[in-house]
Chains A and B, each alone.
Chain A
Amino acid sequence: MAKEVTLTIDGQQVTVPAGTVVVDAAKKIGIDIPVFCYHPKMEPVGMCRMCLVEVGRPVYDRATGELVLEEDGSPKLQFWDNLETACTIPASEGMVVKGMTEKVQKGRKDILEFLLTSHPLDCPVCDKGGECPLQNITLEYGSSESRFDFDNKIHFDKKVPLGDLIYLDRERCIQCARCVRFQRDIVEDPVIQFYNRGRKTDIVTISEPGFDSYWSGNTTDICPVGALTTADFRFGARSWELNQSASICTHCAVGCNLTYNTRREAKSGGDFVIKRAMPRQNEAVNELWICDKGRFAHHFTDSADRLTQPLMRVDGELVPVGWDEALSLAAEKFQTAGKDLVTLVSGRLPNEDLYNLQQLTAGLKGSSSLYTQMAGGDLVAQMGATEENNLSTLTAEDAILVVGSDLEEEAPIWWLGVKQAAVKGTTLIVANPRPTKTDQHADFKIRYAYGEGAAAVESLGSGAGEAGEALAKAKNVMVFFGSEGTNLAASSALAEACGDLLTKTGHSSGLVGVWPRANTQGAWDMGFRPSTEINGAKSLYIVAADPAGDDPALAEAVKAADFVVVQELFLTETAKLADLVFPAQAQTEREGSFTSGMRRVQRFYMAVKAAGDSRPDFDITAQLGAKAGIDLKGLAPSLVMSEINAKIAGYADATYTKMAQVSEQWPIINRADLFYGGTSYENNAGLGVQLGSIKKSEVFKYTDGLELPDGDLIAVPITRLYDRGTMLSKSEVLGSHLPEPFVVLNPEDAQRVKTADGMTVSITLAEESYVAVVGTDETVPTGIVLVPRSVGMPISGPAKLEIHIAETTLA
């Protein structure tokens, strides 16, 4: 714990840890010192010079070390001639800071005048207008007249694509370096940089393709002017027209807090549409950041492909039908099927919907199944992250193990959290068959052969080796297990091994599944267990999953069922095979809650009106229940949550009221001083509820490893941030980021099978043929071919793969 010091700022006393910079100390007592380059998440650089203050320091007698006093007994203060920058001055005991003097006010005016000499007067057409730090500070400190000759303004390009998601307006840039520092220091993707010097200083991208980073959108939030804008929002709306709704990102298990900005538009008949997704502060989850997937992949809501009315198969065709007729038919068929009903769901669904689906299925005596290739949610429920042991609480006494996961690809914000913990001194152990970005800060790197993840973890638990010792010694341990190269069985073994490791090293919490969906953990908690065995089901109730689209074998199983109901946003391949299709509301159109992989239950709210005649999943299920004589809550998700609170182990505290509570977070950000934290939204809608561990599992069962199939080349599944999944592919702004089918292998193997980087080949995988582009990467083990999930080549686990070079490609 750092020593505390007390200083006086503009007459108010404040006590802060020694080393706190004056800008932050002032913030604590509600004094907003204007800044452009300073950001509370980054090291100060003192570049913009806006935060000038007068600083007086107490004088100590050199000989005696005693405080020198004025005649009136007050401590003598020494002020320097020059103003100082409040962002670089560490608070010290007895310091007196003056920010309201004439000298300070003039100093800030001078700096602002300098900044404005090169800034264009295009606020009326600038996307930042209305939420622009420079605009706001100009209102406070700017002169109404320009002394700078307008003809001497330098003109630069106003539309420079740094990549295809971020545009730079060179004229507007004030060279604060926030974007450059964010990319270099916070996310360690130094793909943008300054070029040239002086007044010619320019932001350039040094990656190919340009601004090649999963984090690029954050730079537009912290840009204090309109220099950086996103392709998604550029010229999209004026900030003052926008409404805000709090939400939770639906794209991965982190549960980033979002604010959707919406406005009414003619193109949607005067209804609200989502204009942009913005980060909402939650220091225990995503701080002030979100990844580009979360920011740009919101267009599933406004897609023209949305289902808007129930469909029923008549004479082989799906035709529109009324809700009542459709629900009655489904209820009748499900009741008839009884134990031969299988309800298949994905972790994309909110808790309330999953609960109702589980209740309905149980009431009908059918069976339920979670559509996933990852296991271990039951263990996570028992020994997951807690209030005391999560990414935001780790210290140098703690340790993290990341196993079988390319964390930045699978859950970018967790990668950031793990990295930040490692920088603070938490011991980081990374175990994976190939190197990943997480390795950069690893204290220990463990390589194992694909299929032997559980064994690698088991050997750590034996206490052998430095890494094992570090785990045993650590106060708290967090274990992130992912799905790199595993199938369901191997995933189960890995999860069990991780649980066993925690137990053996004397820990009872900290297990985190790097789940593929936002609410996979919630699905486990609501009682769903993974299985893709849908063969033999008389009736299938498939909600938010597309097995037929993912895998031809599963398509056959769907076809084999007597009666299939699909509840979806889109007419998926599975929906096309259905007898009944129920149009569901998107997560953005309704209320609900997700349970993150770190077991934080968080509420989201309605952002826009539902598409067409779609209904929320929990309500559709309740209405089905009503037809089948099963009483379920359908009026409001809050009613369902009350039942969950009463019935689901560990969820008693996860009430809607508690989830909506907020407490002060640091840094203090708000819309009143955008210059400090950026345009990330303050959180006034709830920080969520962190669940605790519910009980301790004693017996862990796992096999040593996964037997890889025989073959010259073995395909293993990996997860990439951008794939072609249902929820992602509707966002055209992501364009080229959504990959065509591709495989990655070692250059040696590539040479051996006579292919090369960039070549289009035909591959055979699980008896199906696909066309894919070859990438080579020397970090891929020989004999292994990485096959990304959800890009059009179904892969549920390691499998034999053949590469065929078409004659045409060779020529």
Chain B
Amino acid sequence: MAVKKRTGVFVCSCGSNIASAVDCNKIAEDLSEYPGVVYSSSEIYMCSDPGQSGMADAIKEHNLDSVVVAACSPTLHETTFRNVSIEGGLDPEECAMANIREQCAWVHAGDMEKATSKALKITKGAVEKVRRNLSLEPISVPVTRKAMVIGGGIAGVQAALDIAASGTEVIMVEKQPSIGGHMIQIAETFPTMDCSQCILSPKMVELSKNKLITLHVMSEVENISGSVGNFKVKIHKKPTYVYPDLCKLCDDCTAVCPTVVPHEEEMGLVDRRAIYIPFAQAIPASFTLDVDACLGLDPIACGKCADVCEAEAIDYDMQPQTWEEEVGAIVIATGYDLYGKENLGEYGHGNYEDVLDGLQFERLCSASGPTEGKIMRLSDHKEPKSVVFIQCAGSRDPEKHCSYCSKICCMYTAKHAQLYKHKVPDGQAYIFYIDIRAGGKGYEEFVQRTVDKEGVVYLRGKVSKVYQEDGNMIVQGVDTLAGQAVEIEADMVVLATAMQPSFGTNKLAKTLKIAQDKDGWLSEAHPKLRPVECVTAGMYLAGTAQGPKDIPETVAQASAAAAKAIILLSKDTLYQSPTVAKTRLSHCTGCGMCVDVCPYNAISYMQNGQVEVNPALCTGCGTCSATCLRDAISVANYTQGQVHDMIATALGD
């Protein structure tokens, strides 16, 4: 089927990014003689103002009905050039990108002839594709004006409060029995030394009182369907066995509970009962029953807590709940967990009581911690007179552990050393470091103060081994500045263990179908220009789920994610891509194979036995078209004919 089009081709040099590997002028010249191409040019930066306005002008001047931009990946600038096409008077569907940067110039440096030949094929393929593209009306769908925030740490709390401040309803889903995340465990925060209770608790209370925010703790996302503007999220809520509205926080239940397990919130430094409150300021303010630790929900087995509860807040028959929420936007703020000490064999595999990780040390320093802020050894409850802090415990170690920098450890180790010196003025603190990374407002000064005012000894080098001898810890390391081996006998060792994506991130990423990077952090749509958006439209990232960051950065990103969600939800209607499947009734025999394979149940039978597509449900994946034996169903602007043409072009000389 010969389709006549007047296509314009715009080749971008991207400065020297493309031009250093691909002969852009040759592409523009060759394409000018390609069938259907009536205009072809090469520009140094297509995405700049001269590039864009030149393109819009050329569309009008040469009466173009379709355009191909041979430049970077469509992920980066397809939207940009589609908008330019609109400016030039074209339907955005008439614009196609030929990716000659990421898929060609950047990966074939050094052989211009071959790279240019490949770039030509890619560009011609795009011309073949737009030849049969049709102008299409975008599909409009109403927006559900409600947001979901997954994760109730500082990132989630900030995002939820900001979204609610715009008058939008928010559903918050938190896996733990209380919101607060890791920040609530921190004693004081660098560089200002605010106690984190003092700055986070008020926000948590504000969240719990906000009528627009519905909080579900002990809850996880089980399944998701729908798309931007109209997600359907299935939530599973485990029972807490305590009614938060009835619980008077009297603590009578813990007094009678016979079982003890390590207290997660206190990082295992102390034990808790099976019925417990995660911490005094927990939101919701209620005790909760850990069913895994409990002797059994059968009153014959135990039932002591329910017996003593005067408020009758405990209900052993509380059932798990599963229900569906409809939301327009989702903010993912699932945070981090620490890289386990058990992974660090050189520091004792977590077997020494007096080798702590950063969060355990925070709990020791915290006024709300198990020692009420008194620093003591776990082994003999003595005050440690010398403490060795080891930075990069698991970070920046591509051979054995995590290759990335966990970013916050230089600062919090300096803070730990200061906290220690404030509480034990006659004690000595040593810090082993590789580099000091103190980029941030007031951060460098903070580290300097640790060295100059607090007298903390910084040793540049790594620690090779930590072991126990006569009740003390022996730390063997190297001081690379002095060029000698160092051995320190210490009362306590604190490891600045690496951050890693929170446990459960992999599962959630799979459920939500969002990408992770090689280390498991959730991927943003563009590392620089779209740092809080997921590739999947309508989903946004906040906080350390996306990568290591400190509290100010986390809060900034959470507010940014909230703003992005608010922008989306401020619209009444959204326009979805019109590239959805369509049936050719002249060819459809009603065999129904497409109905069976459609993952979205978007295809249904009509009364006459043939099938039709619901465009609001169709996502344009094309599985139906590959299944149809008669080419009776195909995705608009991604038809079989178009792909056959592209294949033929790829194989032409």
Are A and B subunits of one complex? no
